A = this chain, B = another copy of it.
Amino acid sequence: MSPRRKLSDARRRQILKAAVQVIAEKGLCDTGIKDVADQAGTSPALVIYYFGTKDALLAEALAFAEDRFYAHTADAVAGMASARDRLVELVRCSCSVGEAADDFDEWVLWLDLWARAAHKPDVARDRQAMDRRWRTTIGEIVRQGQAAGEFAPVDADAFALRLAALIDGLAILVVLKDPDVTRERMFDLCMQTCAGELGFSWTAADQELLTRPRRAAASG
C-alpha cells in the first residue's frame, strides 16, 4: 500500500468518525455535508469526493460503527467455550450494559438508516446486508449451542429473527430515553427471552454480575 493510499484511509476513517458524531447529535435531516467536514477538519469537497451523498455517508458511517461493534464483540467472546456465554456477551454488547453511557449513541444512526432505507434503494441494500450479518451471527451461536447440547432444538433462524427484532424494538425505546426501559432492563428482557426459548437458566444474580460496570467487575 502506497503512503498516499494510507493517508487516504486515515482521512476516510476520520470523516466517518465525524459523521457518526454529527449525525448522532443532529439527525440526518439537519446534518449538512459541511457540518461533517467541519467536525473532521476537512473540506466539504473532500467529503463529497469520498462519499458522494449524505445518504451514502450515513450508510458508510453506520457500517463503520458496526465493524467496530463486531471487532469489540469478537474480542469480548474470544476464548469463551460455552455458546450460552457467547450469546449472553453478544446481547450484552448490543445493549451496551456495563459500558460508558454514550456507547449507545450510535444506535441513533439506525433510526435514520431505517427512515432513509424506506425511500432510497442503495440505503435499503446496505441495511439488508447489515441486518443479515447480525442475524447470521446470532443463528450461528444458536446452532453451535444446539450441537453442544446447551440449547433446545428451536428453529435457529426464526429465533435469530425474533431476537434481532426484539433487540431493535427495545433499542428504539432506550435510545429515545423511554422512562420504562433502561439498558439494563433491555438486557434483562432479551435474556429472559433467550433463556426461555433456548432452555437455559437466567437469574437475577447473572443479571447483576453482568450489568456491573466492566472496570468494577474486573477489579472486584
Point out residues on A near B: beta carbons under 8 Å.
Answer: 26-30, 108, 111-112, 114-119, 124, 127-128, 131-132, 135, 158, 161-162, 164-170, 172-173, 175-181, 189, 192-193, 196-197
Contacts and interface: CB of A to CB of B under 8 A. Distances in A.
Nearest to A186: B165
Contacts of A176: 114, 117-118, 124, 127-128
A162 B117 contact: no
A-B pairs, 8 with minimum CB distance: A165-B169, A168-B169, A169-B169, A27-B119, A111-B115, A115-B115, A29-B29, A165-B170
Contacts of A193: 162
A127 B180 CA distance: 13
How many chain copies does the complex carry?
2
A178 to B, nearest CB: 6
Contact of A27 (B30, B115, B169, B177): B115
A116 to B, nearest CB: 7
Contact of A189 (B26, B116, B161, B189): B161
27 contacts: A26-B119, A27-B119, A29-B29, A111-B114, A111-B115, A112-B115, A114-B172, A118-B175, A124-B176, A127-B176, A128-B176, A128-B179, A131-B178, A132-B180, A161-B181, A162-B166, A162-B189, A162-B192, A162-B193, A165-B165, A165-B169, A165-B170, A165-B173, A165-B189, A166-B169, A168-B169, A196-B196
Contacts of A168: 165, 168-169, 172
Contacts of A165: 165-166, 168-170, 172-173, 189
A108 B119 CA distance: 10
A131 B173 contact: yes
